[in-house]
Structure 1
Amino acid sequence: MGAAGFGLTAGCLDELQGDGDWPSRSVEVVAPWSAGGGADRTSRQIAEVAESHTDVSWNVSNQTGGSGSVGMNAVATSDPDGHTLGCTAPEIAMFEHRDIEDLGPDDITPIMQYTEMPATLVVHEDNDDIDSLDDWIAYAEDNPGELQMANSGTGSSWHLAAAGIADEAGVEVEHISYDGASDAMSHVINGEADCTAVGAAEAAPQVHDGELQALGVAFEEPADALPDVETLADQGLDIEIGSWLGHFAPGDVDDETRDEIVDVYESVFEDEEFEEFMDNNDFMLVQRGPDEFADFLDEQYEYYGDLIDDLDI
């Protein structure tokens, strides 16, 4: 989905901002996972570009834990004046199904979804036992429950992606939770875990640098971030799964403030600096405004509820 339909220009934005009280001070964006992952990197770029469309500073803090629930809950329960915003992902549609946190789509105000990320299965480049998807499946079959699969937190989108891939392959693995995709990859690189499933764009730098090897992408076609990596479907695993990212405000923010925040985000999304960052870092540009994002969150809530039941997680 492109940027069509969000035609507010930066010039119009300055005029609109004069009518409201937001922002009256610095804006904090909470990234609920560790530094270096997709949520952190894209949120920092949004904050950097947003500063050029407002007269205040934008800062990013990492508040990790609970598969993202700690950071997201901090935003959802913050003062609804629009000066504390947060990054969200499929986890917001999972917390209640997993009894992790009493927090769901109805507790936040969606602002904008800006990307989606297909999952990619990766192992250490120097893994002597696994050099392909077939090797990964064979090793897991021969050593049931011994293959340690890192993820970004119990009940996280990458945990569900890993569990879904293992389930489709018909193998048993041990899921090990960390504080984000970057942390999960680091433990594979350090040899403390055997594999992980994270976003293709998140894994691409380590794959290109030779620290990780990508075995397949859970998407309908090869991902732009890893164009030479076959899809899992083309290798016999019929699964498409991944994650997405968006920003939100507290659930009880007033409509005027929400609209002013949305105006800034629309200008950020159309900003050449943001587009170049996303392109240079292989993040797909996908835009959903507040109403469409809200409908999408409701769909995700139902989808992940069914998936969690099916996988018995």
Structure 2
Amino acid sequence: MKRTLTTLLAGAGLALAAMTAQAAAEFPSRAVTIIVPYSPGSTDTLARTLSEGLSEELGTPVVVETRPGAGGTVGGAYVANADPDGHTLLFAVSSVQTVAPHQRDLPYGFEDLKPVARVAVGPNVLAARADAPFKTMEEMLEYAKANPGKVSYGSAGTGGATHIAAEAIAKAADIEMFHIPFGGVTPAIAATVAGDVDVVLGFASAILPQAEAGKLVALAQLSEERAQLAPDLPTLKEAGVDLALPPNVGIWAPAGTPDDVVETISAAVAKAVQRENFVKFGKTTLTEIDYADALTFTEVLLAENSYFEWLLPQIDFSQ
């Protein structure tokens, strides 16, 4: 009986391996659908611009579909539970995989999404109202330490990426700030421009134009190194805050997708991000294009996941 069971299990394993190999050999066998888990906007447009080159590189139509809801987790869950054959992909900010599963029960976890390629890194920028009593990151830190809890910051909403990033900055810098949540980054920026909030955090594409117009004062960027699109703006680390939280934008497949399929898609992305229309779009929208293959992207996400697993229990989400 044991020999029969062992034989059956071995046969099942061989059959599964054969099916996986066949799926990899046949990819792509139909159109590829990229799910963007947010409402139409900058991420959606970035995905559609990338899909033009990706379609030509893969030799099959690449369709972009938005499935917004619950901070990106509706679309994340959809892809995590899709057939793992490479024909359904996720295009999102990494918080969908590294943050959201630590905040609440979801129909997917970190291990249910397989990194394919990083496309861009934001970056996020911290800025102050034009008439704030500080004009640099160092001055802001000095002011905040002298006035605990007096510096207010606007976020896109409680529990969102900008809220968490601001709290991470406060913890790394050993300061206290007062959180004011808004229903998105745009109203948070508007309130800061109006002088109702001291500082705000958001993508460079949303912050830097306001700073160039003199309506905000850019204090620091959250990248490891100065991004090419903001070479004159210091990083947090240059200001003495040992923290870098660049928002990684990339592509994921369902867990179980064959490595050969992932490698095929990743190689196609590597070529698509170099196309003239995509490079031009990145410059126009202040998006730092920074491709990373599946292995490198996985390493980045594992480190990011570990950090947020440590950080999130320390944040008060009742505000």
Kindly indicate whether the alpha-carbon contact (under 8 Å) linking 1:216 and 1:231 is maintained by their aligned counterparts in 2: yes
Counterpart of 2:90 (choices 86, 90, 94) is 86
* Cα 1:182/1:43, change in 2 over 3 Å: farther
Question: TM-score by structure 1 length?
Answer: 0.74
Kindly indicate whether the alpha-carbon contact (under 8 Å) linking 1:119 and 1:199 is maintained by their aligned counterparts in 2: yes
Q: Which residue of 1 aligns with 2:30?
A: 24
Q: Which amino acid in 2 is paired with 1:103?
A: Y
Counterpart of 2:125 (choices 120, 124, 128) is 120
* Cα 1:55/1:94, change in 2 over 3 Å: closer
Offset at residue 283 of structure 1 (A): 3.1
Q: Which residue of 2 aligns with 1:43?
A: 47
C-alpha deviations, 1:36-78, integer Å up to 9, x for none? 44x3343232123223333425224251423x22221222223
Kindly indicate whether the alpha-carbon contact (under 8 Å) linking 1:159 and 1:175 is maintained by their aligned counterparts in 2: no
RMSD of Structure 2 on Structure 1 (CA): 3.5
Q: Which residue of 2 aligns with 1:76?
A: 80
* Cα 1:303/1:169, change in 2 over 3 Å: closer
* Cα 1:248/1:235, change in 2 over 3 Å: closer
Question: TM-score by structure 2 length?
Answer: 0.73
Counterpart check, 1:172 vs 2:163: no
Secondary structure of the equivalent of 1:297? helix
Q: Which amino acid in 2 is paired with 1:24?
A: R
Offset at residue 170 of structure 1 (A): 0.8
Counterpart check, 1:147 vs 2:152: yes
Separation (CA, whole Å) in 2 of partners of 1:31 and 1:205: 25
Offset at residue 249 of structure 1 (A): 1.8
Secondary structure of the equivalent of 2:299? helix
Separation (CA, whole Å) in 1 of partners of 2:45 and 2:194: 22
* Cα 1:279/1:109, change in 2 over 3 Å: same
Kindly indicate whether the alpha-carbon contact (under 8 Å) linking 2:120 and 2:248 is maintained by their aligned counterparts in 1: yes
Q: Which residue of 1 aligns with 2:68?
A: 63
Kindly indicate whether the alpha-carbon contact (under 8 Å) linking 2:34 and 2:62 is maintained by their aligned counterparts in 1: no
Offset at residue 182 of structure 1 (A): 5.2
Number of equivalent positions: 290
Q: Which amino acid in 1 is paired with 2:154?
A: M
Offset at residue 162 of structure 1 (A): 0.8
Kindly indicate whether the alpha-carbon contact (under 8 Å) linking 1:23 and 1:82 is maintained by their aligned counterparts in 2: no
Offset at residue 246 of structure 1 (A): 0.9
Q: Which residue of 2 aligns with 1:305?
A: 309
Q: Which amino acid in 2 is paired with 1:198?
A: G
Offset at residue 186 of structure 1 (A): 5.1
Secondary structure of the equivalent of 1:117? coil
Q: Which amino acid in 2 is paired with 1:298?
A: L
Secondary structure of the equivalent of 1:144? coil
Secondary structure of the equivalent of 2:209? helix
Separation (CA, whole Å) in 2 of partners of 1:43 and 1:216: 27
Q: Which amino acid in 1 is paired with 2:307?
A: Y
Kindly indicate whether the alpha-carbon contact (under 8 Å) linking 2:127 and 2:216 is maintained by their aligned counterparts in 1: yes
Separation (CA, whole Å) in 2 of partners of 1:182 and 1:174: 16
Counterpart check, 1:106 vs 2:98: no
Secondary structure of the equivalent of 2:290? coil
Secondary structure of the equivalent of 2:121? strand
Identity of aligned residues (%): 23
Unaligned runs of 5+ in 1: 1-18
* Cα 1:229/1:269, change in 2 over 3 Å: closer
Q: Which residue of 1 aligns with 2:290?
A: 286
Secondary structure of the equivalent of 1:47? helix
Which structure is larger by alpha-carbon Rg, 1 or 2? 2
Higher deviation after alignment, 86-95 or 277-286: 277-286
Kindly indicate whether the alpha-carbon contact (under 8 Å) linking 1:23 and 1:56 is maintained by their aligned counterparts in 2: no
Separation (CA, whole Å) in 2 of partners of 1:190 and 1:48: 39
Separation (CA, whole Å) in 1 of partners of 2:213 and 2:55: 32
Q: Which amino acid in 2 is paired with 1:244?
A: N
Kindly indicate whether the alpha-carbon contact (under 8 Å) linking 1:200 and 1:223 is maintained by their aligned counterparts in 2: no
Kindly indicate whether the alpha-carbon contact (under 8 Å) linking 1:130 and 1:139 is maintained by their aligned counterparts in 2: no
Offset at residue 289 of structure 1 (A): 1.8
